[in-house]
Amino acid sequence: MTNQKILEQLHIFDIAEEGKGVARHNDLVVFVEKAIPGDIVDAAVYKKKKKFAEAKINNLIQKSDDRVEPFCVHFGTCGGCKWQHMDYNAQLKYKQKAVADALQRLGGIETDHAEEILASQETVYYRNKLEYTFSNKRWLTNEDIASGLDKEMNALGFHVPLRFDKILDIEHCYLQADPSNGLRNAIRDFALENNISFYDLRAHEGALRNLIIRTSSTGEIMAIVVFAYPQEAQVELLMDYIDKQFPQITSLMYIVNQKKNDTIFDQDVITYKGTPFIYEEMEGLKFRIGPKSFYQTNSLQAYELYKITRAFAELTGNELVYDLYTGTGTIANFVARQAREVVGVEYVPSAIEDAKVNSSINDITNTKFYAGDMKDVLNAQFVAAHGKPDVVITDPPRAGMHADVVARLLEMEADKIVYVSCNAATQARDLAILKDKYDVARIKPVDMFPHTQHVENVVLLKLRK
């Protein structure tokens, strides 16, 4: 830590994006890596601007009462679960605070009536989808380097933060239930034993590129191996091994992707064995999930989120509901039995096809789905054709709603808007505009991603009479 300025006796009082602790030093705001509220630290500054600095703990003088021992051996190197060193109840407290701060500061919204954050039922093994990357450039940890031993440079795991070409080899990940860990490790070991090359992310060569594992509450399992430049017979060799070693996989697939990027949306998916999709289920409804389908990654908590959304909508069976950013129509189909009609709109055409299939397999006949850019589709003609909605449910991406969409909502004057958000800052920005005609009636944060700073938030808006 030579030549780095040491700031002494910093009292960490808050936690920010990316899970960094927040302290003050005179007029300087200091963001300290791996520090949590309640810690007292000496910190080494590695980046300084006029108003703020970024630092690392040089000496942990006093531990916060909320500090716990991280349970994952990869914590601190892997970019995944950045809050693992904080007690879960404290995580919930700071997520609730983050939502309230954003709504108050950026939206001018009064949050005294906000309801308590809903904790996740599971805090480990809660994800239903993980994507791993093969690389011939393994990230060497400080321990690896200190050992002085020659290390296997092929890796199967996650990208190290800020390094697109370096992959941290993962031994055990606490995000996805079995057989995820066993499957990943077995595929890596088999590939090494059989000299199947790992992808070079800079030179764009090598046989094995990605591994995608999807699990479901129904017990079904999907595994997709993404190859790049396999030699003859390597695909058959590996896929046959997976099939024999893991007969519980219900949907075994592969892709040959020779593009420069990892996205699979424009790639052909070959079903090696089983069905080309798996099912998720809630309240007797089945949702079909293909290799390219979007589905909330925490299945149990998605159900809780959708129940809150439906409760906020206060449906009686007579309402016309617009479901904006409907994705694969999960919310639309989930509330359809309590509504007169649901009209869903989504940007991604393949998602809309999934939404229609999900209505069909559940014998739901009161839904309609349209694909297109929300700001273009949701115009006066669309409303004239489908009717003025009684309730609008909107669940936009992190960027929030386009200004034109917010303006259209103000014009439509639906009695209720239920705004589901994964980014309280952009939600607050949109609410600040909607306040012109709407009152915020209910606020309920939901924790979908334990040990991370991410939090969902549901807001009910009621038209001012």
d(CA 267, CA 263): 8
Question: 83-101: buried (b, 16+ CB within 10 Å) or exposed (e) per residue?
Answer: bbbbebebbbbbbbbbbbb
422 is catalytic: yes
- Residue with the two structure tokens 């993404």: 226
Instruction: Name the catalytic one among 72, 81, 173, 422.
Output: 422
- In angstroms, rounded to a whole number, what is the distance separating the alpha carbons of residues 286 and 272? 24
- Rounded to 10 degrees, the C-alpha dihedral 210/212/213/216 comes to 180
How far from 350 is each of 354, 356, 359, 401, CA to CA, in Å? 6, 10, 15, 21
* β-pair partners for 133: 157, 210
Residue 384 in contact with residue 306, Cβ under 8 Å? no
Q: Please state, in angstroms and rounded to a whole number, the distance separating the CA atoms of residues 50 and 43.
A: 18
Q: How far apart (Å, rounded) are the C-alpha atoms in residues 278 and 214?
A: 9
Do 70 and 84 meet the contact criterion of CB atoms below 8 Å apart?
A: yes
The answer to whether residues 50 and 417 touch, using CB atoms and an 8 Å cutoff, is no
CA distance 78 to 123: 18
What one-character DSSP code corresponds to residue 199?
P
Please choose, from the candidates 287, 277, 271, the residue with its C-alpha nearest in 3D space to the C-alpha of residue 356: 287
Residue type (1 letter), 264: I
Q: Alpha-carbon distance 154 to 212, whole Å?
A: 18
* Rounded Cα distance, 413 and 87, in Å: 43
DSSP state of 116: P
Listed in sequence order, the residues at least 6 apart from 98 whose beta carbon sits closer than 8 Å to its beta carbon are 424, 453, 455
> How far, rounded to the nearest angstrom, does the alpha carbon of residue 152 sit from its chain's CA centroid?
31
Catalytic residue positions?
Answer: 422
